[in-house]
Chains A and B, each alone.
Chain A
Amino acid sequence: MNEDDPRLLLPWYLSDTLSVAERTRVREHLESSRDARDELDVLLQLRHALQRLAAREPSMSGPARAELLLRFETTVGGARREVEAEHGRVLRSRRAAGERSVAGAVASAGRFVDTELRALLTRPWVPAAVAGVIAAQFVVIATGHYAGRLERDAAIVARSVDGAAVRYRLRFRPDAPAGEIVATLRAHRLRVVAGPDATGAWIVDARGERAGELAATLRRVAAVASVEPVAE
C-alpha cells in the first residue's frame, strides 16, 4: 500500500488528530469511495470495542499502589537526608572558619593593646572604640554558638535515623486498600526494607522504645494478615 494512501489515515480521522490538509484529503476520499466508508464503519466498531475492552480492565492492586507510594517516599526521603547531611557538613565548616576568625581577631586585638595602649588612652574616642570591640566579639561568639546549636540538631536527627531497629515480616490482606497499608506503615513508623515479595510479604524495620512489642499491636490491625519478627 502506498504511504500516501488516505486509507492509512482513517484511524486518526476518527480520533480527529489529523492536520486540516490531511483531514480534507480523507474526507474527499470518503466522499468518492464506498469501500472507504465501509472501512470507516468497521474502524468505528473496532475503536468502540477496544475501548469497551479497556474499560473492563482491572485497576492495579492496593499493595502495588502502596509499594509505589512508599518507594517514592523512600527515594525522596533518601534524597532529603543527603541534603541534610550536606547541610551539616556546611555548618561544621562554617563553624570552623568562624573559630579561626575569632582567634585571629583576639590575637590582633592583643597586639593592638600591647603596642598602642599608651597612646590610645590619651585620646577622647577611646571608650566608644573599646565598647565597639567588645560588641563585635560578642556577635562573633553568639554566631558560633548558633552554628553549634544547628550542628547539635543535625546530630540528633542523625542519631534518630541510626537508632536500633526490630525487623518484621509483614503481610497485608490481599484486598487491603493501598491507603490503609500506607496508613498502617506510617502510624507505626515502619521503614520498608523490602517488598512486597511474591507472597505479598514486606520486610519492615520498627524503631523506638516499643518496637519489640509492635507485633501484638500490628496483629490487631484489620489490614494486616500476619506479622512475625525476623533476624536482620
Chain B
Amino acid sequence: MPIVADPSAVATDPDAALLADVARGDRRAFEAFYRRHERRCFGFARQILHDPSAAEEVVVESMLEAWRHADRYDSRSRVTTWLLGIVRHKALDQLRRSARAPDRESVDELDALPDPHDGPGEQLMLDEALRHLEAALDRLSVEHREVLRLAFVEELPYESIATVLEIPVNTVKTRVFHARQRLRTALADVAGTGPVR
C-alpha cells in the first residue's frame, strides 16, 4: 500500500496531509479528498473530452490512480497540479481511444460579453453570452481549451500549468495568448458579429 513520500509536504500542505491519509487506506480521507477535487477534475476532464460520462470515467480512474501512486507525489508541485496532471493524461488517453477529434479551431469576440452587474434583464443576456462562449470554446483545440481553463478558471501559476501540461513555461504564456486570440475569433463567429479586433 502506498505511503506519501515527503513528510515535510504533509506538514505544510493540507492536501498533502489528506493524500497521506488516503495512501493509508482511510476511506473518510479518500471521500474528503475526492469531494475537495471532484468538481475541478470533472470540469477539466469534461473540457477536454466534451463527454460527461467519459469525463466521469476519467475522474474515477484518476482518483484511484492518485491513491495508488500517492507515494510518487513529491511536493515539488501542489497536490492540485499533480492531480490535474493525472486527469489530463487519463483524459487524453480516453480521447485517443475514442478517436474523437474535436479539434476544430475557432473564432470570436470577448467584448460582446455583458457584465452581469450591468442591471436588470442582464441575466438573459448573460445566459446567451455564456452559450456563445461555450460554443466558441467547443471550436478550440484541446490544447487551447485546457490552457484557458487552467489559467482563468483554476487560476494556476504558469509554472504549475507548465507542470500539468508538461510544456515549457514560455510555451504556456504564448499558448494562453494564442488561445485568447482563437477564442476571440470563435466568439465573433458564433455570435455572427465577425471579429471585432
Partner-B contacts on A (CB < 8 A): 1, 3, 7-9, 11-12, 15, 17, 42-43, 45-54, 56-61, 64-65, 67-69, 71-73, 75-76, 79-80
> B67 contacts the other chain (Cβ, under 8 Å)?
yes
A70 to chain B, nearest CB (A): 10
Contact partner of B34 (CB less than 8 A), chosen from A9, A51, A68, A73, is: A68
A212 to chain B, nearest CB (A): 30
Q: A69-B31, A72-B30, A79-B1 are in contact. Are A57 and B43 (CB under 8 A)?
A: yes
B19 to chain A, nearest CB (A): 13
Measured in the bound complex, the distance between the Cα atoms of B65 and A71 in whole Å is 11
Would A1 and B110 count as touching, CB distance under 8 A? Answer: no
Would A46 and B25 count as touching, CB distance under 8 A? Answer: no
Query: Nearest residue in A to B52 (C-beta to C-beta)?
Result: A58
Partner-A contacts on B (CB < 8 A): 1, 25, 27, 30-31, 34, 38-39, 42-43, 46, 52-53, 56-57, 59-60, 63-64, 67-68, 110-111, 113, 115-116, 126, 129-130, 133-134, 137, 148-149, 151-153, 155-158, 170, 173-174, 176-177, 180, 183
Q: Which residues of A contact B155 (CB under 8 A)?
A: 15, 17, 47
Q: A50-B133, A53-B134 are in contact. Are A3 and B173 (CB under 8 A)?
A: yes
Measured in the bound complex, the distance between the Cα atoms of B157 and A101 in whole Å is 65
Q: Which residues of A contact B38 (CB under 8 A)?
A: 59-60, 65
Contact partner of A17 (CB less than 8 A), chosen from B126, B149, B157, is: B157
Query: Nearest residue in B to A61 (C-beta to C-beta)?
Result: B56
Would A49 and B42 count as touching, CB distance under 8 A? Answer: no
Would A54 and B153 count as touching, CB distance under 8 A? Answer: yes
**Which 6 pairs of residues, A with B, have the shortest CB-CB distance?**
A15-B155, A17-B157, A64-B56, A8-B173, A76-B25, A47-B152
B51 to chain A, nearest CB (A): 13
Would B64 and A72 count as touching, CB distance under 8 A? Answer: yes
